[in-house]
Amino acid sequence: MRVLVVGGAGYVGSTSVETLVARDHEVTVYDNLTTGHRGAVVPGARLVTGDIRDGERLWQLLSGGRIDAVLHCAARSLVGESMADPGLYYRTNVTGGVTLLEAMQRANVTRLVYSSTAAVYGEPRRVPIAEADRTEPINPYGATKLAFEGAMRWFAASHGFRAISLRYFNVAGATELNGEDHEPETHIIPLVLRVAACEGAHVQIYGQDYPTPDGTCIRDFIHVRDLGVAHLLALQATGEADPSFEVYNLGSAAGFSVREVVEAARKVTGRAIPARAVKRRAGDPPVLVASSRRAHRELGWQPRHSSLEEMVADAWRWKEAHPGGYRATATEEGSALAEPRQIARSVSAS
Ligand SMILES: NC(=O)c1ccc[n+]([C@@H]2O[C@H](COP(=O)([O-])OP(=O)(O)OC[C@H]3O[C@@H](n4cnc5c(N)ncnc54)[C@H](O)[C@@H]3O)[C@@H](O)[C@H]2O)c1
């Protein structure tokens, strides 16, 4: 397959590119490097820098029968930032997404896999969440991801797209080459590992009186390598499908508590990792986990690396091998100097 991976220099995109390249697919990455990294694009893939809202440039890449399918991983994806600047989220995630769809339609490329999110469900009425459950996002991030899914649905109905959206919660872990390097970082595992690496004073645990076995919130995690395989299986499935729009959850159905994450990190790193319990945050449901039964059944997807220990161990190994992240080892957008990295005095996790 010849695949265009939009957002392929980011955490999820770059690791999926690795999976595709390792299986001899021909990959072009399209990314504006706002949160992604040039150094995350593996040598077997071609990087083209550009913005998802540049329809002409996308069309040039897609036209002439050079691309069979698109994997769309580009997004703004910070909940807090989306509350502060919803316009940015609508411009990138919705306008940018629709620009991509129109460029694909014009170039007659109709196979699309979308890296969506379980944030589209909002506060679930039951867990584990199934695909048909109510979608009622509680922030602009989730709302814009859902709005783009709506556009996918109608491009399938009106223009013959074969489109699959994968919804998941927290991605974790690393491959040998690529790992998580976000600034700011908001995800619990890298935040806890920053404390292990003495880049933060302590982990904050928001609430320990939830109705869960240890009183802390339970969240769903998927290893980034399992996600790469899910993306590949979904891309293959679009080759066989009739025009359609399908949604699959990717989750563990069980999840791990915040306290379990901290304990696993202590075990893996051998470091103390001080943690402080603080008040609950508004809008944090006790349990957020999704059922992947449909993905198992119809895509043949099974997570193989998503034990908590493996995710934390892989993330730690990558962090130790890349102490300054990509900035320390690679140049961004041609800049010869590495950016100074801001070290947080204390970090928080939920
Ligand atoms: N990381 C997670 O835990 C997680 C969980 C659920 C869903 N997701 C989804 O997975 C996708 C990737 O997430 P991630 O963690 O890899 O994020 P990321 O920020 O590491 O990657 C996003 C990539 O998109 C690129 N990008 C952003 N705006 C762009 C634009 N206007 N034009 C071109 N490229 C642009 C960035 O430079 C970056 O390389 C997102 O769509 C996100 O919603 C991620």
Mean pLDDT in consecutive groups of 10 residues from the start of the chain, 350 residues: 98 98 98 97 97 98 95 96 96 98 98 97 93 96 98 98 97 96 92 94 94 95 97 96 95 91 97 94 88 96 95 97 82 32 31
CA of 322 to the centre of ligand 1 (A): 20
As annotated, the active-site residues are: 141
pLDDT at 346: 31
Ligand 1 neighbour 117 (Cβ under 6 A): yes
- Ligand 1 neighbour 110 (Cβ under 6 A): no
The confidence score (pLDDT) of residue 282 equals 80
**What is the CA(179)–ligand 1 centre distance, in A?**
13
Helix (H) or strand (E) holding 167: strand 162-168
Please give the pLDDT value at position 348. 35
Strand-pair partners of 276: 204
- Please report the atom of ligand 1 found closest to the CA of residue 119: 6
Name residue, tokens 């922030």.
139
Beta bridge partners of 16: none
CA 297 to CA 90: how far, in whole Å?
33
The response to whether residue 36 sits with its C-beta less than 6 Å from ligand 1 reads: yes
Instruction: Say how many Å lie between the first and final Cα of the chain, rounded.
Output: 39
Which pTM value belongs to this model? 0.93
Per-residue confidence (pLDDT) for residue 329, from 0 to 100: 65
Calculate the dihedral angle through the C-alpha atoms of 112, 115, 121, 124, rounding to the nearest 10 degrees. 130
Q: What is the pLDDT of residue 330?
A: 53
From ligand 1's centre to the CA of 233, what distance in Å? 20
Residue of 34, 191, 327 best suited for mutating to test ligand 1, as the one with most atoms within 8 Å of CB? 34
- CB-ligand 1 contact for 92 (6 Å cutoff): yes
CA neighbor of 39 nearest in space, from 181, 184, 248, 214: 181
Pair of tokens at residue 263: 């304990």
Distance 265 CA to ligand 1 centre (A): 25
The vertex-218 CA angle with 221 and 193, nearest 5°, equals 60
**Atom number, ligand 1, closest to the C-alpha of residue 36:** 39
